[in-house]
Amino acid sequence: MVVPRPVRAESSDGSPFVLSPAARISVAGPGADGVARLLRAELAADCDRVLAIVDEPPAYGDIIVVIAPGEGPHADGSDSDEGYTLEISAESVRIGAATGAGAFWGVQTLRQLIPAACDGNPLTIEPVRIHDHPRFAYRGAMLDVARHFFTPAEVKRFIDAIVLLKVNHLHLHLTDDQGWRIQIESWPDLTRVGGSTGVDGGRGGFYTQDEFRDLVAYAAERHVTIVPEIDMPGHTNAALASYPGLNADGVAPAPYTGTEVGFSTLQTGDALTERFVRDVIRELADLTPGRLLHLGGDECLSTPPADFVAFVEDAARAVTAAGKTPVGWHEMGRAAGLPAGTVGQYWDFTTPRGHAAEHALAFVRGGGSLIMSPSDAAYLDIVYEEGDELGQDWTGSPTTLRRSFEWDPARVVPGVGDAHILGVEAPLWTETVTSIEDVEVMVFPRLAAVAEIGWSTAPADTEPVEAARDFADFAERVAELSEHWDAAGTRYRRVPEVGWPEKVG
Ligand code: ACM
């Protein structure tokens, strides 16, 4: 069965669907053709079958994609935007949805129900009826391309891998002390100087605006929204090294290739810095069709507290003026004057420490919502096991697959329930991660856990939260999913908690 677990799946005892030589993909409704083309590409890769796509009523044995009001999962017609129905019988495979996104997620379920490799056998799928829709609108993964740079082709490969789990947002951490990765035409030295380095002298690099637009379009075709982040006022050594005038003493610091945090800051109340912030936000907003623009705001240990508040309020207003909704790490909740609706991203522990809960609640009080990324469960840079070479251990204990699964976003910050939660996100920081293969090993299978938490129905209220989640059932479904990762060449950690099947080939 499928990851994330569908809301409702009823198997029936009819005959299976068998893909005949005459089978086609019959499409109806706006967006169905695009979804069908992506499905066709998957079938061609997995089963060596290239199906015709026809804008005609279906015949016996066809795969059908229908997008129309009322085709979603809700009997009363109140179709959730991303919901879908999937019916598999001897007669047909039929995906129905009210939106292209819903149909696309239906295709991802179908992919998981199809054998990962057909090996010359006729493709056979057991009969089932699925009604499915997400718990949260935002299911995210974050890739830190600042500590180590990943090329556009690598980011596309990453997008291909996350959509199988119905992850619909990719947060790109585009700037940090060690690198500036997005071309800003009005400040060219950001990439010329700031883009040339990475942690430990890593390869450096950046996205031109054309490359970034192409990435955004590639993601959008797959119903993924890119959320760009410019981290400020801290985590800004790459910018400060590029423009001496942004520094209080007018002297540019050397590029930084270490992994300390908290030592850099932009100035508050400085005219050149204000112009810089506005120019960067304006150009980035122009490149971003999505609603959200992330301003960072974390770990500003060198910014005087009053300056921090004034800085982030001003920057967030610039985001609003550019037509976007600001997002900030939860520390930004220290500022009382953020624009209404600003979204917070919570990254403290599943049991909040210090002022983290209070800062997170400030976003809710301001009419915004929260993205939940508790670092002791959802951070993918943390080691799987003590002693791992790859990964970091600053949360104090490893993040096993079980740990990444046994929590719930509505049980982290007291007073914050589903209505205040935009969704969940699993960030990958890349201080120790230098290749896309290592990215995948850190991300999979743990992203499957966070994706299921974001999509599948909330668990029962049982205490403790561990008891509310059925890890054994999840692990069995992850084992099946691994055959699809193997077929696609996606790397993953074969954690000891899962009874992995033998690898084929
Ligand atoms: C963070 O991990 N500094 C957001």
Residues 219 and 267 in one domain: yes
Strands of 166-267 (E only): list them: 169-173, 175-176, 179-180, 225-232
Which residue, by CA, sits nearest to atom 3 of ligand 1? Answer: 298
Residue 255 forms part of a structural domain: yes
Instruction: Report which ligand 1 atom has the smallest distance to the Cα of 299.
Output: 3
For ligand 1, the distance from its centroid to the CA atom of residue 373, given in whole angstroms, is 10
Q: Give residues with Cβ within 8 angstroms of 438, minimum separation 6.
A: 390, 491
Instruction: Report which ligand 1 atom has the smallest distance to the Cα of 375.
Output: 2
Residue where a domain terminates, one of 76, 108, 132: 132
For ligand 1, the distance from its centroid to the CA atom of residue 295, given in whole angstroms, is 12
Instruction: Collect the ranges in the chain with pLDDT lower than 50.
Output: none
Residue 465 forms part of a structural domain: no
* Residues of the domain holding 83: 8-132
Residues 110 and 154 in one domain: no
- How confident is the model over 53-77, as pLDDT tens digits? 999 999 999 999 999 999 998 866 6
Residue 494 forms part of a structural domain: no
Residue 493 forms part of a structural domain: no
What CATH number does the domain containing 447 carry? 3.20.20.80
Which pLDDT value is given to residue 75? 67
Residue 395 forms part of a structural domain: yes
Instruction: Count CA atoms within 13 Å of residue 405 on its CB side.
Output: 26
For ligand 1, the distance from its centroid to the CA atom of residue 236, given in whole angstroms, is 14
Residues 146 and 221 in one domain: yes
Which pLDDT value is given to residue 504? 63
Residues 128 and 142 in one domain: no
Residues 387 and 241 in one domain: yes
Query: Three-class SS string for 87-124?
Result: EECCCCEEEEECCHHHHHHHHHHHHHHCCCCCCCCCCE
Find the angle CA(56)-CA(6)-CA(425) to the nearest 5 degrees.
110
Q: In 3D, which of 455, 456, 448, 453 has the Cα closest to residue 492?
A: 448
Residue 283 forms part of a structural domain: yes
One-character DSSP codes across 374-417? -HHHH-TTB-SSTT-SSSB-TTSS---HHHHHS--GGGTSTT--
Which pLDDT value is given to residue 105? 98
Residues 188 and 109 in one domain: no
Instruction: Report yes or no on whether pTM surpasses 0.75.
Output: yes
Which pLDDT value is given to residue 77? 65
Name residue 84's beta-bridge partners.
Answer: 132
Residues 127 and 153 in one domain: no
Does residue 425's CB lie within 6 angstroms of at least one atom of ligand 1?
Answer: no
Does residue 347's CB lie within 6 angstroms of at least one atom of ligand 1?
Answer: yes
For ligand 1, the distance from its centroid to the CA atom of residue 163, given in whole angstroms, is 24
What CATH number does the domain containing 94 carry? 3.30.379.10
Residue where a domain terminates, one of 83, 116, 132: 132
The DSSP element (H or E) to which 454 belongs, if any, is helix 446-455
Residue where a domain terminates, one of 99, 132, 165: 132
Instruction: Count CA atoms within 13 Å of residue 90 on its CB side.
Output: 4
Residues 169 and 64 in one domain: no
Which residue, by CA, sits nearest to atom 1 of ligand 1? Answer: 298
Does residue 346's CB lie within 6 angstroms of at least one atom of ligand 1?
Answer: no
Which residue, by CA, sits nearest to atom 2 of ligand 1? Answer: 347
Which pLDDT value is given to residue 243? 98
Residue 483 forms part of a structural domain: no
Does residue 298's CB lie within 6 angstroms of at least one atom of ligand 1?
Answer: yes
Among 299, 476, 480, 497, the active-site one is 299
Which pLDDT value is given to residue 79? 66
Q: Which of 329, 331, 353, 370 to mutate to test the pocket of ligand 1 (most atoms within 8 A of CB)?
A: 329
Total structural domains in the chain?
2
Rounded to whole angstroms, how far apart are CA atoms 163 and 101?
A: 11
Rounded to whole angstroms, how far apart are CA atoms 387 and 439?
A: 18
For ligand 1, the distance from its centroid to the CA atom of residue 347, given in whole angstroms, is 7
Residues 219 and 311 in one domain: yes
Residues 274 and 235 in one domain: yes
Residues 64 and 207 in one domain: no
For the chain, give the longest Cα–Cα distance. 76
Residue 95 forms part of a structural domain: yes
Residues 355 and 308 in one domain: yes
Does residue 452's CB lie within 6 angstroms of at least one atom of ligand 1?
Answer: no
Helix axes 152-163, 209-221, angle to 10 degrees: 20
Is 299 in the active site?
Answer: yes
For ligand 1, the distance from its centroid to the CA atom of residue 379, given in whole angstroms, is 9
